Amino acid sequence: MFRAVLTSRLQAAFTAAGIALPEGFAVSVVIASDTRFGDYQSNAAMTLGKQLKTNPRALAEQIKAALQVDDLCEKITVEGPGFLNLTLSATALGQKLGVIVKDAYLGVLQVEKSQRIVVDFSAPNIAKPMHVGHIRSTFIGDCLARIARFIGHTVITDNHIGDWGTQFGMILHGWKTILDHAALEKDPIHELVRVYKNVNAQTKADEAVLTTCRSELVKLQQGDAENLDIWKRCVALSLDQLRTIYAKLDVHFDHFLGESHFNDQLAPLVENLLTSGIAEISDSATCVFFRDVPELADKPCLIRKSDGGFLYATTDLATIDHRINAWKADEIWYVVGAPQELHFRQLFQVAKKRGQTTVMRHIAFGSILGQDGKMFKTRSGESVGLLEVLDEAVERAAVVVAEREGFSDDEKAQIAQVIGTGAVKYAELSQHRMTDYKFSWDKMLALQGNTAPYLINAYVRTRSIFRKLDGEVTLTPVLTITEPAERALAIKLAQFAETTHDVLVDHRPNLLAGYLYELADTYHSFYEACNVLRAEGAVRNTRLTLCDATSRVLKTGLGLLGIQTTERM
């Protein structure tokens, strides 16, 4: 990776120039914001000059003289108040391109120290449909897991489903009194939701029904055979439908350990917290206080209610124990919405009090809005079903694909599936995860602009070059980069390695999405400026190599976003 090597060389240049760096000072090299001056740049001399109260430009010239990058750069300049600008040589670019073409990881380096990372994402509730609110957790979590695996980490994906809770009292009562078995057979989730809503309305109108539901829940918690059997059927039917949705999304989990999996561990966990002095009784409830953490001093974590009931925090603490003890997790990532920030701050503090040193991260995200700027809902005010969103995306894509000639009906259906599903995923992953964004069918399915159809079409264009060639193509490492458009594309391809690692610095898939969009744009400029098929010799080989490398990076990069490609479109 050019940036990493240049950063290391720049660090060495400070030492060679006899410049002592203050403790904690970070020497950094970044992609140039204005490529007219170079490919990479550093403001290290400018920043350090201010700290040392010395002329930053003179300092930059001193560093430039000591910088050993002749094997990488054709030019080094000092601009403005002390920016160091570095321009890569055609030889270095050609060598890097040769590596990308031959390397299964396209030049992306594997991490020096692999971590065991548990990624907790999606987490729908049993007996309820997945809705648009699950889009962000599901797609962000899947993407981060893919990238972490790609760069060499061991990743365990866990779908911590909500399969235990007060709603089951209502479902149990409804199952026994108003369940339509034929409807259950046809569409289990829809019927279970109908039952729940009906009984919920009854509880608000009749206190006796609420009492009955509570009684059914207590019986379930105490192990009543009939209620346990009904609950198991609800879970099984829900999981069947969930797996159908995940299969459509090409999202896979190693485990589906729901809340119920940890029931037997909750009481001993609370007693241990009390015995160790971490928790205490307050107003008959069991709490963990954070008197030594100012921002949480008045926000205790409740782990057992006064009536003896447990809470999400209790289950989450037991889940942490399992992930550390059974799965040996070095890190645990929770891809959960921003409103749960306080919950995770409390949870991580309790884990810290328990002496658990595993790194835990809350990877938060914002909301999906409708075109009116409000939460995205149906006209009746309910959450939009995720399956309905996917089906509509595919249907809209099918309308566009239907106009294309030369495809069979099966091919059109497959292409529509790839484009529709990819469009929904990319619309999410191209956003900064903390940004609230408006859901727009027209924007996400557009063939121009920063969309999945545009990127998939760019991939198709790269492959079309090779379909036009007669016979097998042999790419050789003899590369000759002479044209500005070739050079721009080679540099952009080299930056895939850097971008892939950058995503996990702050868990931002939009960095990869943005990179792929820039790559597609750069390729289109190259395609217009440089004729590939009419070129000859080393020039032709170089251009074919650029096309092949772009093809592989687009396919791999989109795959890391969880988006499939198609060879024709």
pLDDT in tens, 277-307: 999 999 999 999 999 999 999 999 999 999 8
Number of H helices, E strands in the chain: 21, 13
> Quick one: pLDDT band at residue 386, thresholds 50, 70, 90?
confident
pLDDT at 538 over 80: yes
First to last CA, the chain: 33
pLDDT at 378 over 60: no
What Cα–Cα distance (Å) separates residue 522 from each residue in 93, 97, 326, 484, 517?
A: 16, 15, 47, 11, 9
Residue 219 one-letter amino acid: K
Q: Which alpha helices (DSSP H) does 430-476 contain, by range?
A: 441-444, 452-467
pLDDT at 137: 96
Phi, psi dihedrals of residue 122, rounded to the nearest 5°: 80, -75
> Which residues are CB-neighbours of 438 under 8 A, at least 6 positions away?
369, 370, 371, 373
pLDDT at 397 over 80: yes
Give the Cα separation of 65 and 79 in Å (integer): 15
Answer for the pair 446, 453: CB distance below 8 angstroms, yes or no: yes
> Quick one: pLDDT band at residue 439, thresholds 50, 70, 90?
confident
> Which residues are CB-neighbours of 190 under 8 A, at least 6 positions away?
129, 183
pLDDT at 382: 66
Answer for the pair 60, 17: CB distance below 8 angstroms, yes or no: no
pLDDT at 326 over 90: yes
What is the DSSP annotation of 266-307?
HHHHHHHHHHTTS-EEETTEEEE--TTSGGGTT-PEEEE-TT
pLDDT at 421 over 90: yes
For all residues of the chain together, what is the average pLDDT?
A: 92
> Quick one: pLDDT band at residue 414, thresholds 50, 70, 90?
very high
Give the Cα separation of 411 and 569 in Å (integer): 9
- pTM check: above 0.75: yes
The mean per-residue pLDDT over the stretch 533-551 comes to 92
Q: What are 331's strand-pairing partners?
A: 117, 359
Domains and CATH numbers, the chain: 2-88 (3.30.1360.70), 116-161+255-363 (3.40.50.620), 167-249 (no CATH), 386-560 (1.10.730.10)
Name the burial class of residue 95, with classes exposed (0-12), middle (13-18) and buried (19+) by CB atoms within 10 angstroms of its CB. middle
Q: Which sign, positive or negative, has the C-alpha torsion 411, 415, 417, 420?
A: negative
Tokens (6 digits) for 224: 């009543």
pLDDT at 446 over 90: no
pLDDT at 392 over 70: yes
The mean per-residue pLDDT over the stretch 146-167 comes to 95
pLDDT at 89 over 70: yes
Answer for the pair 127, 196: CB distance below 8 angstroms, yes or no: yes
Among 166-170, 331-335, 343-347, 519-523, whose mean pLDDT is lowest?
166-170
> Quick one: pLDDT band at residue 98, thresholds 50, 70, 90?
confident
> Quick one: pLDDT band at residue 373, thresholds 50, 70, 90?
confident
pLDDT at 215 over 70: yes
The mean per-residue pLDDT over the stretch 488-511 comes to 96
The mean per-residue pLDDT over the stretch 347-371 comes to 95
pLDDT at 377: 66
pLDDT at 80 over 70: yes
Answer for the pair 369, 436: CB distance below 8 angstroms, yes or no: yes
- Maximum pairwise Cα distance, the chain: 86
pLDDT at 143 over 60: yes
> Which residues are CB-neighbours of 491 under 8 A, at least 6 positions away?
39, 88, 93
Answer for the pair 438, 444: CB distance below 8 angstroms, yes or no: no
pLDDT at 472: 66
